[in-house]
Amino acid sequence: MKSKRLRAEVVVVGGGVMGTACAWELARQGKSVLVLERSVPGAEASSAAAGILGARVEAHAPGPLAELSQKSRALYPAWVRALTRATGIDPEYRACGVLKVAFGTSELAELARGVAWQKPQPRTLSPRDLSKREPALSPRLRGGLAFDDDARVDPRVLFRALHIAAARSGVVFRSGAYVRRVVTRDERAVGVALDDGSTVEAEHVIVAAGSWTSLVEGLGIAPGAVLPARGQIVELETPGPLLTSVVFGPRAYLVPRDDGRVLVGSTMEFVGYRREVTAAAVRDLLSAAIELVPALADANLQKTWSSFRPYTKDELPLIGPTSIPRLLLASGHHRNGILLAPITAAIVGALVRGKRSPVPVAAFTPARVRG
Ligand SMILES: Cc1cc2nc3c(=O)[nH]c(=O)nc-3n(C[C@H](O)[C@H](O)[C@H](O)COP(=O)(O)OP(=O)(O)OC[C@H]3O[C@@H](n4cnc5c(N)ncnc54)[C@H](O)[C@@H]3O)c2cc1C
């Protein structure tokens, strides 16, 4: 059988939020883009995420990741508006703020110590402030911090909008296309080879294969440079919204949706690519959720799921050129890939067009995991 050959200016491996955001950006800049997805677009982590845009609540130290996160969150309102304009879909972006709460005074002091470096400082909330802002929270809470600039979005709806917007801008998606390796000629990337024997030629290759990135051959990165970090989530349903803000408790976080659903997350497990939802995780998440919001005891347990965060050992993403000319990575975004999608797309979009990145990217260089 004669093997098929396709061509595109840019080929993107992986149709999650990262691959699709980069593809949309490049198509809007006039590039012809083909996204190769082994399953269906959005099948993996990007649809499993809770949707916290936690640039401040998730920042544990000053540095390049904290800065990148804040820049990406700042892009969100305009990015979502552009998606809604292109598709008519509202991805439920809400500038709702995130509360981090504690049941004991020593835990509260620890929370304050953890953010001492942040500027501006998150607001300190008394038990009274907490119950005024979120009356459903447990009266046993001793207080908390308010990260007022942080936000939330519904990742599944966001992805649907992104997928449609990208397709309308001319991006071609091929589902069921498993990329085995990057093809090089004269030491530069010139395309990819699929496991059905076909090849796609391209001027630029972007690998955005999430937790499976290290399994794509020919990237010049160390085996295990990106590892799967499993997270489990429980979705509860209440007749009306109990919360508006995202709430981080000591053992779980709660992410409300406008229609009364509440997502309870999450675990962080290194168990390879095992997709189970475990009894112990569901028990622990439910007990933590009910401790935070006692009325959740009566909620309908709607769904559970698990998926894999693309984890890197230094917990920094891999964004930008590799040691192989014309091959870029957009991967390893771990806990914050939904948050970091707009800035990653802006960086990749600029670099592919030979322009300077809009933000410094040295800290995220794939060179640090060269294999
Ligand atoms: C439980 C959980 C909760 C989370 N909560 C949040 C949150 O609240 N906020 C936030 O910002 N982030 C969150 N995240 C992280 C976020 O989901 C990820 O960082 C982000 O989705 C990564 O996007 P991606 O496109 O890189 O990966 P994915 O969405 O996993 O997409 C990668 C795609 O590549 C495809 N692929 C892989 N290998 C190949 C191949 N060889 N050929 C072709 N296709 C291939 C896969 O099928 C997949 O569709 C959460 C993650 C989990 C698991």
Q: What is the 3-state secondary structure (H, E, C) of 343-366?
A: HHHHHHHHHHCCCCCCCCCHHHCH
Of 159, 304, 309, the one to substitute when testing ligand 1's pocket (max ligand atoms within 8 A of C-beta) is: 309
In the chain, which residues have pLDDT < 50?
Answer: 1
Q: CB within 8 A of 16, min separation 6: which ones?
A: 41, 42, 43, 44, 45, 46, 208, 210, 337
Q: CB within 8 A of 224, min separation 6: which ones?
A: 214
Round to whole Å and give the CA distance between 32 and 29.
Answer: 9
Q: How far is the CA of 139 from the centre of ligand 1 (A)?
A: 36
Round to whole Å and give the CA distance between 13 and 34.
Answer: 9
The model carries a pTM of 0.98
| Ligand 1 within 6 A of CB of 296 | no
Round to whole Å and give the CA distance between 35 and 22.
Answer: 10
Q: Quick: pLDDT tens for 8-52.
A: 999 999 999 999 999 999 999 999 999 999 999 999 999 999 999
Ramachandran class of 358: left when φ > 0, alpha when ψ lies in -120 to 50, beta otherwise = alpha
- Going by C-alpha positions, the residue among 363, 312, 303 that lies closest to residue 337 is 312
| Ligand 1 within 6 A of CB of 262 | no
Round to whole Å and give the CA distance between 108 and 111.
Answer: 5
What is the model's pLDDT at position 3? 59
Q: How far is the CA of 11 from the centre of ligand 1 (A)?
A: 18
Q: Quick: pLDDT tens for 215-273.
A: 999 999 999 999 999 999 999 999 999 999 999 999 999 999 999 999 999 999 999 99
What is the model's pLDDT at position 1? 44
What is the model's pLDDT at position 5? 72
Question: Which atom of ligand 1 lies nearest, measured to the CA of 43?
Answer: 49
| Ligand 1 within 6 A of CB of 234 | no
Q: How far is the CA of 310 from the centre of ligand 1 (A)?
A: 7
Of 40, 44, 73, the one to substitute when testing ligand 1's pocket (max ligand atoms within 8 A of C-beta) is: 44
- Going by C-alpha positions, the residue among 10, 23, 18 that lies closest to residue 209 is 18
Of 11, 17, 183, 253, the one to substitute when testing ligand 1's pocket (max ligand atoms within 8 A of C-beta) is: 17
Check whether the bond before 266 is cis (ω within 30° of 0).
Answer: yes
Q: How far is the CA of 52 from the centre of ligand 1 (A)?
A: 14
Cα 239 versus chain centre, distance: 28
Round to whole Å and give the CA distance between 363 and 314.
Answer: 10
* One-letter identity of residue 193: A
Nearest-CA residue for ligand 1 atom 2 is 49
The H-assigned helical ranges of the chain are 17-28, 45-48, 64-87, 105-114, 127-133, 155-168, 279-292, 337-352
Q: How far is the CA of 299 from the centre of ligand 1 (A)?
A: 28
| Ligand 1 within 6 A of CB of 332 | no
Strand partners, 114: none
Of 11, 18, 72, 174, the one to substitute when testing ligand 1's pocket (max ligand atoms within 8 A of C-beta) is: 18
Round to whole Å and give the CA distance between 179 and 34.
Answer: 12
What is the model's pLDDT at position 226? 98
Question: Which atom of ligand 1 lies nearest, measured to the CA of 231?
Answer: 1
Structure tokens at 7: 């061509």
| Ligand 1 within 6 A of CB of 179 | yes
- Going by C-alpha positions, the residue among 309, 348, 244 that lies closest to residue 58 is 309
